[in-house]
Structure 1
Amino acid sequence: MTDQPQAPAEQPSDVEGSTPALGAEAVAAYLRAHPRFFSEHDELLLEMHIPHQRGDSVSLVERQLKLLRERNIEMRHRLSHLMDVARDNDRLFEKTRRLILDLLDADSLEAVVMAVEDSLRQEFQVPFVSLILFSENATPVGRWVNTAEAQQTIGALLGGGKTVSGSLREHELAFLFGEEQRKEVASSAVAPLDYLGLHGVLAIGSRDPQHYKSSVGTLFLSYIAEVLGRVIPRFTTLRPVR
């Protein structure tokens, strides 16, 4: 008996209204029909894995694509980091601007001291703040220290005339933040006030040892200290000598 010819198997039909699944054969057929597809969409090559291995060797094409992918990922990370830094600087600028305006509007030394301490603690979220002025004649407002005592205790921090940051020594922390608080301060930034007849220091501290590293940017703190040096003499006997 001869075999009867078999009828071709029926292909499964798609459910009405559904999107047919796109299989590998359909993709391959489409690419064969459109050989210039990747020439017109070459950006897709960076996202594809195209092996060109012969034994243990790797072709230059695959190596090039691998390097391009890695460089693309690295550039995205760098761009994301730069955007984060820019946003942080924008926030710092806005907080600094508000503080400077408050200092310019202050009508007393008490208002100046309160504006600085409140802004740094509330706006900038700094847990430890210290504003110290150096003079032989103290006033009832703020903290005043004898100039000789200040030079003897923290003279090393003031010698360069620039803002410094990092980990300070125990006696420096005690002078700046007090005996009790110095136990909690793990890193600090210190900006000298030195404008004509006025001398002092503005210090901020953190419980995080890495928060104020030696390489941290201190532009905004230095700017605040410079403004203080010009505002405070309006309310003290330490008039700038010209």
Structure 2
Amino acid sequence: MSNQQPPVAAITAEQVVSYLENNPDFFIEQDDLLAQLRIPHMRGSSISLVERQVAVLRERNLEMRNRLTQLMDVARDNDRLFDKTRRLILEMLDAQTLDELVSAVDDSLRHSFGVPFVGLTLFTDKHISVGRSQTLKSAQQHIGGLLAGGKALCGVLRLKELEFLFGKSQAAEIKSAAVAALEYQGIQGVLAVGSDDQQHYSNSMDTLFLTYLADVLARLLPSLLASLRAVK
């Protein structure tokens, strides 16, 4: 006894015509199908289906052009960001002293990247005459929650956190900030950037650039800090 199903009869053109006659709105929700159909548009006649198909293709063409424009804008922004980053990294590599390194980072972020508030703080029990420094214990008390995850983060910070990162004189002006930890060969610290716009550093913002900058900075600090101690 055979279990094979009987072959399905092919749909005839007459059946298709009959279905479309009974369902005149069928193509309204079938944009994908309309884009694939080939229908001759005879001169002197008015075929709404052809007009609909042309409209669909025109809309899709406009959408693709908008997407392409957006991609080109992103590419140009990335080129500008790469160029600024390259120049900053070269300036950091050229720094011969801790003072030059701190100045290179601060000046570039403020002027090239347009960052109004920059805070670079090293965690050490010894006093450092260059830049800002705090003890690790103080850092854990004031911004321990920001450093717990070990990843850069963005958002609206509490006043005591802002005061620790940027100093009391600037804290009240900062509405949002991004923070990246510095850690390499026993050197610990934090690099922070701030804005007077509460939405500028949102928690969904990409922190790749800040993390990259913090990683490079952390690797340059040990030798310059050693040189600073040797001079003393």
What is the TM-score of this pair, normalised by structure 2?
A: 0.74
Distance 2:57 2:199 in 1: 35
1:152 offset after TM fit, Å?
A: 1.4
Which of the numbers 121, 125, 132 marks the counterpart of 1:136? 125
Q: One-letter code of the match for 1:187?
A: S
**CA offsets per residue over residues 181-230 of structure 1, 9 Å max, x none?**
12211221111101131110110011122221212222221111111101
Q: Which secondary structure does the structure 2 equivalent of 1:180 belong to?
A: helix
- What are the Cα deviations for residues 83-124 of structure 1, in whole angstroms up to 9, with x where unaligned? 111111111111111111111111111111111101111111
The yes-or-no answer on 1:228 pairing with 2:217 is yes
- Name the counterpart of 2:21: none
- Identity among equivalent positions (%) equals 57
1:129 is paired with a residue of what secondary structure?
Answer: strand
1:160 is the counterpart of 2:146: no
Q: Which has the higher helix share?
A: 2
- Unaligned 5+ segments in structure 1 are 1-41, 53-58
- The structural deviation recorded for 1:60 is 3.6
1:80–1:146 distance in 2 versus 1, CA, 3 Å: same
Question: Could you say what the CA RMSD is over the residues aligned between the two structures, in angstroms?
Answer: 2.1
In structure 1, the partner of 2:163 is 174
Question: Residue 66 of structure 2: which of 70, 77, 83 is its match?
Answer: 77
Which stretch shows the higher mean deviation, 110-119 or 71-80? 71-80
| Paired AA for residue 108 in structure 1 | T
Matched, 1:89 2:78: yes
Q: Which runs of at least 4 in structure 1 moved beyond 6 Å after TM superposition? A: none
The amino acid of 1:113's aligned partner reads V
Q: TM-score, normalised by structure 1?
A: 0.71
Q: CA deviation at 1:237?
A: 4.1
Name 1:119's counterpart in structure 2: 108
Q: How many residues align?
A: 185
**Matching residue of 2:185:** 196
**Distance of aligned partners of 1:236 and 1:63 in 2 relative to their CA distance in 1, 3 Å threshold:** same
Counterparts in 2 of 1:76 and 1:132: CA distance versus 1, 3 Å: same
Q: Larger C-alpha radius of gyration, 1 or 2?
A: 1
Contact map agreement 1:92 1:220 (CA 8 A) in 2:
no
The separation in 2 between residues aligned to 1:146 and 1:96, in whole angstroms, is 30
Distance 1:79 1:106 in 2: 41
Q: Deviations over 1:35-92 (max 9, x none)?
A: xxxxxxx9xx9xxxx974xxxxxx4433332222222222222211111111111111
